[in-house]
Copies of this chain bind each other. A is one copy, B any other.
Amino acid sequence: MAANDAGDTMPKPMFETAALVGTGVIGRSWSRVFVRGGCRVRLYDPDPEQAKRALRWFHEDVALDVREGLVTKDDEALWRDRVSAHADLREALTGAGYVQESGPERLDLKRAIYQTMDAAAEPDAILASSTSALDVNEFADRVKGGWRCITAHPVNPPHIVPLVEIQSSRVTKPEVQQKTVEFLAHCGQKPVVLKRYINGFLLNRIQAAVVREAFHLAESGVADAEAIDSVIKDGLALRWAFIGNFGANHLNAPEGIGQYFGRYADAYRSMIGDLNNEPPAFEKDMMSRIAREIGMGENEEDVKRMSQWRDRMIVRLKALKKDHPRP
């Protein structure tokens, strides 16, 4: 059984130890995922101060959750000694059956770090990448251990949002994909498999489709940004959070999705023909107007406060979904 943030007993880990290479905002969040899965977690960053900061963040963030009643004191105590920062890559990878790399999105750097990791890691360790932009084939091909390289692209922040996009390369062994999927599910994540590379993978493409139309509506002056966000948070996303897009289509007609689009295909063709296909201008003035209209300040304090609220709400929503599974 997978553990969760609400203080379940520690599950037997699939891997005794997991290592993180690159401990920025995404990397450090993975530490909470793997600890939740029962692992010891070893942090490495080319900048040793960054790894230490990630370790401090881990302790502070867990403490915050203890105060909110989302993590028990017992789990906090148990986790305290399970996460460590290391200044040396080889030392960090020692004993790690699973390595999650969250470095810069540059192919030359990715190739270099994969060569280094492949040489330093345990012989059977899986080398997973958090990349959101690169095709795993481009760096797995270049290393001897290409068979153990895989993409496991999370959503920010991974310890809050469970989805992970998995892409194997041409040379990745099927067992590596299978173990990665099992391990991430065991840690409470929701891995989904891409059958091949596509620019932006699934999640960022769907997000881009919404960004494109949302900006179009705001820029064309048909409604203000808060109204457009409200359409999502008080309308579409209330259904999507439980049943996704196809599920929402399916439940919109008494006999399901075939009947629904049998009735409304023409309306969709008409609307789709009318959607804007160009990217937004992304002008600074428009950004300030949007921030003002949605009532969120463009400063670190406001963003942090609002993000903490968002994260707590998502944890509560996940608990709700867990308590009332789909029939």
Contact = CB atoms under 8 A, between A and B. Distances in A.
A75 interface: no
Interface in A295-327: 296-300, 302-307, 309-310, 312-314, 316-318, 320-321, 324, 326-327
A287 interface: yes
Contacts of A156: 252
Interface stretch (A41-49, A96-104, A238-246): A238-246
A1 interface: no
B211 A245 contact: yes
A252 to B, nearest CB: 6
A253 interface: yes
Given A268-B279, A309-B327, A257 B314 contact: no
A231 B165 contact: yes
B287 A251 contact: no
Nearest to A288: B258
B237 A268 contact: no
Given A163-B234, A229-B246, A324-B316, A208 B241 contact: no
Nearest to A245: B214
A275 interface: yes
A296 to B, nearest CB: 5
Nearest to A213: B209
Contacts of A317: 238, 241, 317, 320
Contacts of A320: 313, 316-317, 320
A208 to B, nearest CB: 4
B190 A234 contact: yes
Scoring A190, A193, A210, A233 by chain B CB atoms within 10 A of each residue's CB, the highest score goes to A233
A203 interface: yes
B267 A272 contact: no
Given A163-B234, A234-B162, A320-B317, A217 B202 contact: yes
**Copies of this chain, count:** 2
A195 B222 contact: yes
Nearest to A235: B163
Interface in A263-284: 265, 267-275, 277-280, 282, 284
Contact of A275 (B165, B209, B253, B267): B209
A198 B275 CA distance: 10
B231 A241 contact: no
B318 A275 contact: no
A290 B251 CA distance: 13
Interface in A120-179: 133, 155-156, 160-163, 165
A69 interface: no
Interface of A: 133, 155-156, 160-163, 165, 190, 192-196, 198-200, 202-214, 217-218, 220-223, 225-259, 261, 265, 267-275, 277-280, 282, 284, 287-288, 290-291, 294, 296-300, 302-307, 309-310, 312-314, 316-318, 320-321, 324, 326-327
15 contacts: A133-B267, A161-B238, A190-B234, A199-B271, A200-B274, A202-B217, A208-B268, A209-B275, A210-B245, A212-B275, A232-B244, A236-B240, A251-B307, A253-B303, A254-B300
